[in-house]
Amino acid sequence: MKGKEPIFRGAATALVTPFTENGVDYESFGRLIDWQIEKGIDALVIAGTSGEGSTLSDAEHKAVIKYAVEKVNHRVPVIAGTGSNETPYAIELSQYACSVGVDGLLVVTPYYNKATQKGLVKMYYSIADATDKPLIVYNVPSRTGVNIEPRTYVELARHDRIVAIKEANGNISKIVETAALVGDRLDIYSGNDDQIVPMLSVGGQGVISVLSNIMPAETSRMCHLYFDGKVKESAKMQMDLIPLINALFCEVNPIPAKAAVSAMGFGKNILRLPLTEMESEHEANLLQLMRYHGLIG
């Protein structure tokens, strides 16, 4: 079967959503979007895990997606997080995102109610059948309690609009098995910033990144160096950035990312419960590493 057209190649930022005390901080959100594009990011993911999509109201979720599409204005692909453990709602939100002009959908596996592998296939087919944009399957079992098995991806790859995987299961052996089974029928993106280069080495097309919230140019460069055959240089970037990546994941995402983006002037460090601000010692370490990399004064 012929490969499908990729939504992007390189780094896509899983963008945080800046908040005020009363809602979405669109002024800061707009500046963050413009800065990301100016720095050369390859794509943007809106209202995913990092964007606190799970605590956005339905109206906010739709408004954030629409705002981002209009603000980006075709400068880079916009991918909307539209997954849910209620399939009819995932379909509704996905259809809305398609109607306002997103370039792709990022659909997480169902959380809490979980699913069998058969159930996962039926769910993804239902969403893909009901929409007209390419769909990225998001596998993050540490959050959802369900893992997509390599042979399940073979079934998912049969659908024309299911085009890619954001793989965050952390198991490189399983990812290699998946890549061997699906070939070029599904693009594979790393869902973990500490595994960007390892994923590229087994045919990955890039990363959907938290790190790139604060280092969009560098995260994109890491990918494109690899694509250009400069493997050692790319791998060195990966290793040099590990302390900062670890600091960005020392507490549950997006707690550190929101603190980091706020420190760079993109809105207040406001999260929604059950997320709370970083522990002070963790934040001090994160800010120290950001100063080391010249991200803040």
240-270 pLDDT tens trace: 999 999 999 999 999 999 999 999 999 999 9
List, in sequence order, every residue forming a beta bridge with 136; answer none if it has no partner.
106, 164
Q: Which of 202, 238, 233 is nearest to 219 (CA)?
A: 238
Domain membership flag for residue 234:
no
Distances (CA, A) of 13 to 213, 255, 280: 6, 16, 26
Domain membership flag for residue 108:
yes
Domain membership flag for residue 285:
no
**How far apart are the C-alpha atoms of 199 and 207, rounded to whole Å?**
9
Catalytic residue among 4, 133, 166, 258: 166
Annotated active-site residue 153? The verdict is no
Query: Which domain does 23 fall in, by range?
Result: 10-228
Domain membership flag for residue 284:
no
Q: pTM score, two decimals?
A: 0.95
Catalytic residue among 138, 153, 189, 226: 138
Domain membership flag for residue 167:
yes
Domain membership flag for residue 114:
yes
Domain membership flag for residue 255:
no
**How far apart are the C-alpha atoms of 1 and 185, rounded to whole Å?**
7
Into how many domains does the chain fold? Answer: 1
Express each pLDDT in 123-152 by its tens digit: 999 999 999 999 999 999 999 999 999 999
- C-alpha dihedral (249, 254, 256, 259), degrees to nearest 10: 170
**How far apart are the C-alpha atoms of 174 and 295, rounded to whole Å?**
35
CATH number (domain holding residue 216): 3.20.20.70
* Residue 197 identity (one-letter amino acid): V
Annotated active-site residue 138? The verdict is yes
Domain membership flag for residue 2:
no
Q: Around 93, how many Cα atoms within 13 Å sit in the side-chain half-sphere?
A: 31
